Structure 1
């Protein structure tokens, strides 16, 4: 898809772009969902010493990790039409005005919160 876009930027191959978006979603969704369901942390979260916790009790998200990953990644498939990018931006910025837990939209859907890891 990238080579096609570089060869002719005015006529990108929509099929290849769509397939690459779906593959990227599947890989990201699998990684994020599995890591959060296991211990609430991805490799980046481990390095930053934070983790995802269930809002109600602070437990590891388990199944909620999968729904959190889906809400974060799924709109990325719509990225070629800009809708996914706009959602991702709004989703990421949501924490700046959310009170009291500073949750992003994917946290709100999954009923999770990011906390300091011990």
Structure 2
């Protein structure tokens, strides 16, 4: 920061050090824990989250037509978390199962 100040020009300085890294790690850990507790575990156990239950849909493994394994449910959530809306919109053009990218990665589909 001293070098940027001494240069006399307007400079953007990004501060990322041990103090901030700890907070970022804490937030990422909380997001991961929430994702496992709200999305991966209920999907693996019952094939649905509370929100999916309200909408009357469930997630099933393509091969067994039963709720996916924990690994598949976790993979499904992680792909969704990283690819977000573009990956989810893929189901609008995918035929015949209308699978989003996270469903394709976990070999699952959503059924009514």
Q: Which has the larger radius of gyration?
A: 2
Question: Matched residues in 1 for 2:79 and 2:73: separation?
Answer: 10
Give the secondary-structure state (helix, strand or coil) at the position aligned to 2:110.
strand
Partner of 1:70: 78
Question: Matched residues in 2 for 1:88 and 1:25: separation?
Answer: 15
Give the secondary-structure state (helix, strand or coil) at the position aligned to 1:34.
helix
Give the secondary-structure state (helix, strand or coil) at the position aligned to 2:98.
coil
Pick 1 or 2: higher relative contact order, CA cutoff 8 A, min separation 6.
1
Q: 1:65-104 maps to which residues of 2 (within 5 A)?
A: 65-73=73-81, 75=82, 87-104=83-100
Q: 1:2-41 maps to which residues of 2 (within 5 A)?
A: 15=21, 16=23, 19-41=26-48
TM-score computed with the length of structure 1 as normaliser: 0.68
Question: Matched residues in 2 for 1:95 and 1:12: separation?
Answer: 40
Give the secondary-structure state (helix, strand or coil) at the position aligned to 1:53.
strand
Shift of 1:43: 0.2
Aligned Cα root-mean-square deviation (Å): 2.1
TM-score computed with the length of structure 2 as normaliser: 0.71
